[in-house]
C-alpha cells in the first residue's frame, strides 16, 4: 500500500465506531476568535475513573484532544467524513496532594501551563488552548464538530509533536488504536454550524 493510501485509510479509521459508552449527549458551544474557533463542552469531565486514581497516586496523566470540523454529518460505524480542518493537542495533567488542586500543561510549542486549578476547570482550560483553524471553512458552508479526548499512559508517551507541528503519522496511529489510559475515550459530535453565523454572533448579532 502506498503512503498516500495508508494515510487516507488511517484518517478514515479515526471516525469508525460509535461514541464511547456513557458519553454525554450535549450541545457544543463555539466562538470565533482571532486565531480560530474555540469550542466549549460544559459536560466534559475526564478526571474520573482510572485516570483520576493515577493522578491521586502522584502520576502525571496525558490527555490527547482531537478536534475536527467535518464536511458532513458523521454516521456511527461509518468512515469519518472529510475533515475540513482539525486540531490535535496533548496536555499533561498532575495533582497536588497538599493543595488538592490540579496543574495542566500544553505540550506543543509555544507551551502553556496553569496551576491551582479545580477539577471542573481543567477541561475548559485545555479547550481554551485548542484553537481550530478556519482557513478550510467556507463562510456559508455547514460543518460538523467532532471532539475526542483520550487518557494516555505518560510512561508510554510517543513522539506525537514533531517540528514544525503535529506528526500526521502519529495522529493516525494514536486515534486508530485502543486507548491505553484505562478508560474509554470521551467523544461528542455536534452541528451543523456555519462560519458566517459565528461571525455574526461575535459582532453581537
pLDDT classification of 200: cutoffs 50, 70, 90: confident
pLDDT classification of 46: cutoffs 50, 70, 90: confident
162/126 Cα distance (integer angstroms) = 20
69/84 Cα distance (integer angstroms) = 6
Contact 77, 86 (CB under 8 A): no
Nearest Cα neighbor of 80 from 29, 17, 21, 134 is: 17
pLDDT above 80 (res 94): yes
- When comparing pLDDT for 203 and 2, which is higher? 203
Asked which of 38-52, 147-161, 170-184 is least confident by mean pLDDT, the reply is: 170-184
Structural domain that includes position 7: 3-202
Per the omega criterion (within 30 degrees of 0), is the bond before 110 cis?
Answer: yes
pLDDT above 60 (res 172): no
The full 3-state SS of the chain, as one line of letters, equals: CCHHHHHHHHHHHCCCCCCCCCCCCCCCEEEEECCEEEEECCCCCCCCHHHHHHHHCCCCEEEEEEEEEECCCCCCCCCCCCEEEEEEEEEEEEEECCCCEEEEEECCCCCEEEEEECCCHHHHHHHHCCCECCCCCCCCCCEEEEEEEEEEEHHHCCCCEECCEECHHHHHHHHCCCCCCCCCCEEEEEEEECHHHHHHHHCCC
Long-range CB contact pairs, 112-121, < 8 A, 24+? 119/45, 119/47, 120/45
User: How many structural domains are present in the chain?
Assistant: 1
CA dihedral over 63, 148, 135, 33, signed as positive or negative: negative
Amino acid at each position: 500500500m502506498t503512503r498516500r493510501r495508508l494515510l487516507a485509510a488511517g484518517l478514515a479509521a479515526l471516525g469508525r465506531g460509535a461514541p464511547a459508552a456513557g458519553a454525554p449527549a450535549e450541545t457544543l458551544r463555539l466562538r470565533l476568535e482571532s486565531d480560530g474557533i474555540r469550542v466549549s463542552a460544559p459536560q466534559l469531565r475526564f478526571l474520573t475513573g482510572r485516570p483520576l486514581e493515577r493522578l491521586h497516586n502522584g502520576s502525571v496523566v496525558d490527555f490527547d484532544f482531537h478536534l475536527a470540523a467535518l464536511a458532513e454529518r458523521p454516521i456511527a460505524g461509518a468512515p469519518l467524513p472529510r475533515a475540513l480542518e482539525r486540531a490535535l493537542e496533548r496536555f499533561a495533567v498532575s495533582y497536588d496532594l497538599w493543595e488538592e488542586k490540579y496543574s495542566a500543561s500544553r505540550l506543543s510549542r509555544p507551551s502553556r501551563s496553569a496551576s491551582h486549578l479545580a477539577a471542573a476547570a481543567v477541561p475548559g482550560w485545555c479547550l481554551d488552548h485548542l484553537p481550530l483553524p478556519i482557513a478550510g471553512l467556507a463562510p456559508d458552508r455547514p460543518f460538523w464538530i467532532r471532539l475526542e479526548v483520550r487518557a494516555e499512559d505518560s510512561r508510554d508517551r510517543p513522539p506525537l509533536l514533531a517540528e514544525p507541528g503535529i506528526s500526521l503519522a502519529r495522529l493516525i496511529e494514536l486515534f486508530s488504536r485502543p486507548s491505553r489510559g484505562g478508560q474509554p475515550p470521551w467523544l461528542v459530535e455536534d452541528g451543523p454550524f456555519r462560519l458566517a453565523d459565528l461571525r455574526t454572533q461575535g459582532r453581537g448579532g
